[in-house]
């Protein structure tokens, strides 16, 4: 390919990016203009992809962790033949457009993961790399190298400033994930100005070498041959993840905006865009022009992937003959289905026994793991406390890629991001565990999983002030309502061991977003399913666990460890002539999916006296308790003391529930607190 055509291809992307951002009058033109040579090498020289079949299993993955530079990705997706048109480019950042302001998974073919919050894509790639290594270890056989793809990413100064990249880079280095090839755009510019303001003393190359990465440093992004050679060298390095640090110039080609902060987060301006075009050999008065030879070249490059996929499909067809059971297993799991009969492995727990729901969760995991080979996960250094270790399996490590237990270290933030990276790989259901209070460290990946409607399972134990002596810093109060406020996230807080088993069933069968399973540290009695309703009612989010003996005067609603308290309170109220119905409500989100007829059977409109009991913030419960109801919740932080004492001190006792229920049933007036009718019990 002549040097002139290469330069024209690169400059076309620069001008197209400037045009799109200018038309939107919003966006980031600088980095696409700077990194167009890198994009050229990736899409024309390096990556394995097929625009006509964008999700074929052995494609290379590309992540734009610097999501603000999305016009770079949109440009190359269009040029190489993905399902994106020039009109889509012209609608950049407009309502209902495929070309959103940051790349969005599921909105446009070729986008492997939603990025934007800096550092997330970097860490997602570590999860993708883990998934590839696990697939290769399980399914690759001599002569059948089915899974050997690479994980490419472009990251920015901002990505490397975010702490989550330090966590994820450490994980990747420790695991020797040699299938990672990241390109660091060292352009020296952030929104506030030169990186010397905040990022001047750190030697990024040495930092990543210390993490165990293979590092190369290039002085000029416009040296296409050097970029290609560096990526080739990185591909040959299989024992270490690779970082290629490349010096670039933001808004390259712009006479007045190159190397300035003004090119970072705003359009260049119509006059400057004309100067860019003139400078790069384009007509200043024409916009969105794609030279025919440029489009022809890239479309031909895009078609090469069809041959690669055809070869892979033929290899897999032969594999199916040689290893039919493994092939059948892989195809089934990739379809989103689960093996027949796996539910029969769910354990049943004996009434009267006492068991923390975290312990019950561990027993469920170990009972079903054998039937679900792509159910993999671990914890943030808390496996003994969260009961997430799979006892019959090894740990995933640099020397054992078959391991199903993951040691994320004390890195909750990157754990969540890595789970998302695994979850975008078909077939996998990853899980990760920590204490509920530390879900705070994971908010960005939880939110992004919900945006992408991925299926990681977040396990949160030590779910209330009932955890006891660790005290205020470890006792969650506001976390439940905070998680419930996230769209597409399903939160389940089971009442006992059998509800825990059903919570896992629902989580594994769930689609359309992540699930957060909330478990206790303290032991809870196993509810008698012969005396009370079956725990399978959990699948509907709320169910009548114990109906009243006669028409109910009041409905008692509870979740988790508080369900047993309201069951006991129900019996005491009956002896005092107050008829109460008990509703277990482990999941608001599942309940809201039910039709109005079912909801009426659980919370009849005619019964206005309702008392909700939950060891957390009372916010949100008014929807279910109505104006005539009450909530026993917590409106301050916890205390360091044995769990039972703290629970009682905060009003979570049978006696207090009975007292509050009687007050409701007998019509005593209640005090308002904001929009909620509550009396703090602390």
Q: Catalytic residue numbers?
A: 412
- Does residue 171 sit in helix, strand or coil? helix
What is the DSSP-derived secondary structure letter of residue 580? Answer: E
- Does residue 394 sit in helix, strand or coil? coil
How far is it, in rounded angstroms, from Cα 628 to Cα 29?
A: 56
Q: Is the dihedral of CA 195, 196, 199, 205 positive or negative?
A: positive
- Does residue 442 sit in helix, strand or coil? helix
CB 100 within 8 A of CB 93: yes
Q: Six-digit token pair at 346?
A: 């769910």
The CA distances from residue 11 to 7, 153, 294, 568, in Å, are 6, 21, 10, 74
The values of phi and psi at residue 208, to 5°, are -75, -30
Q: Which helix (DSSP H) or strand (DSSP E) does residue 413 occupy?
A: helix 412-423
CB 241 within 8 A of CB 214: yes
C-beta atoms surrounding 270 within 10 Å? 12
Going by C-alpha positions, the residue among 345, 430, 494, 443 that lies closest to residue 120 is 443
Indicate the length of the chain as a whole number. 682
How far is it, in rounded angstroms, from Cα 134 to Cα 137?
A: 5
The CA distances from residue 293 to 5, 6, 488, 573, in Å, are 8, 11, 45, 83
Going by C-alpha positions, the residue among 607, 603, 606, 582 that lies closest to residue 664 is 607
Q: What share of the chain is helix, strand, coil (3-state, %, to 5)?
A: 45, 15, 40
How far is it, in rounded angstroms, from Cα 388 to Cα 435?
A: 12
CB 518 within 8 A of CB 436: yes
Number of H helices, E strands in the chain: 24, 22
């Amino acid at each position: 390919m002549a040097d002139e055509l290469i330069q024209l291809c690169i400059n076309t992307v620069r001008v197209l990016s400037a045009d799109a951002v200018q038309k939107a009058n919003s966006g980031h033109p600088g980095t696409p203009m700077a990194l167009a040579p890198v994009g050229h090498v990736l899409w024309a020289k390096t990556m394995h992809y097929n625009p006509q079949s964008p999700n074929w299993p052995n494609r290379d993955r590309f992540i734009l962790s610097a999501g603000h530079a999305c016009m770079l990705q949109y440009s190359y997706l269009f040029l190489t033949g993905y399902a994106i048109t020039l009109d889509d480019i012209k609608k950049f950042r407009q309502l209902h457009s495929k070309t959103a302001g940051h790349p969005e998974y599921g909105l446009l073919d070729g986008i492997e993961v939603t990025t934007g919050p800096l550092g997330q894509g970097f860490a997602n790639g570590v999860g993708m790399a883990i998934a590839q290594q696990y697939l290769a270890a399980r399914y690759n056989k001599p002569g059948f190298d089915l899974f050997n793809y690479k994980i490419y990413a472009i990251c920015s100064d901002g990505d490397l400033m975010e702490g989550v990249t330090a966590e994820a880079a450490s994980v990747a280095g420790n695991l020797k994930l040699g299938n990672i090839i990241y390109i660091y755009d060292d352009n020296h510019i952030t929104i506030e100005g030169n990186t010397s303001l905040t990022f001047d003393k750190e030697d990024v190359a040495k930092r990543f070498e210390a993490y165990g990465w293979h590092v190369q440093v290039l002085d000029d992004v416009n040296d296409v041959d050097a970029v290609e050679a560096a990526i080739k060298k990185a591909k040959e390095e299989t024992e270490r993840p690779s970082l290629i640090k490349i010096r670039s110039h933001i808004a390259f080609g712009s006479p007045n905006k190159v190397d300035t902060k003004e090119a970072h987060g705003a359009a260049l301006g119509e006059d400057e865009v004309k100067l860019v075009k003139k400078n790069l050999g384009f007509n200043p008065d024409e916009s969105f022009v794609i030279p025919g030879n440029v489009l022809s070249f890239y479309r031909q490059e895009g078609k090469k992937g069809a041959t690669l996929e055809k070869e892979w499909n033929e290899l897999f067809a032969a594999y199916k003959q040689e290893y039919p059971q493994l092939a059948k297993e892989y195809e089934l799991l990739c379809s989103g289905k689960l093996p027949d009969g796996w539910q029969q492995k769910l354990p049943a727990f004996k009434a009267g026994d006492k068991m923390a729901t975290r312990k019950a969760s561990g027993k469920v995991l170990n009972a079903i793991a054998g039937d679900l080979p792509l159910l993999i996960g671990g914890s943030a250094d808390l496996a003994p406390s969260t009961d997430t270790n799979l006892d019959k399996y090894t740990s995933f490590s640099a020397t054992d890629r078959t391991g199903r237990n993951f040691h994320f270290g004390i890195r909750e933030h990157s754990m969540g991001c890595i789970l998302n990276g695994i979850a975008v790989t078909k077939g996998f259901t990853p899980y990760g565990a920590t204490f509920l209070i530390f879900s705070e460290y994971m908010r960005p990946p939880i939110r992004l999983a919900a945006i992408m409607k991925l299926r990681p399972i977040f396990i949160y134990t030590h779910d209330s002030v009932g955890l006891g002596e660790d005290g205020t810093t470890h006792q969650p109060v506001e976390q439940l309502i905070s998680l419930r406020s996230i769209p597409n996230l399903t939160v389940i807080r089971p009442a006992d061991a059998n509800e825990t088993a059903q919570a896992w069933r629902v989580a594994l069968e769930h689609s359309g977003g992540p699930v957060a399973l909330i478990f206790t540290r303290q032991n809870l009695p196993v509810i008698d399913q012969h005396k009370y309703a079956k725990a399978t009612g959990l699948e509907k989010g709320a169910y009548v666990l114990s109906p009243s003996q006669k028409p109910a005067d009041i409905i008692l609603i509870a979740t988790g460890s508080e369900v047993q308290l309201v069951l006991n309170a129900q019996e005491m109220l009956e002896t005092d002539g107050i008829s109460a119905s008990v509703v277990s409500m482990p999941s608001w989100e599942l309940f809201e999916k039910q039709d109005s007829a079912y909801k009426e059977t659980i919370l009849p409109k005619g019964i206005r006296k309702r008392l909700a009991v939950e060891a957390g913030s009372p916010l949100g419960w008014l929807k279910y308790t109505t104006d005539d109801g009450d909530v026993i919740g917590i409106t301050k932080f916890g205390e360091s003391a044995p769990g039972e004492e703290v629970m009682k001190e905060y009003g979570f006792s049978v006696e207090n529930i009975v007292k509050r229920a009687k007050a409701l049933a007998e019509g005593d007036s209640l005090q308002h607190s904001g929009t909620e009718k509550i009396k703090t019990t602390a």
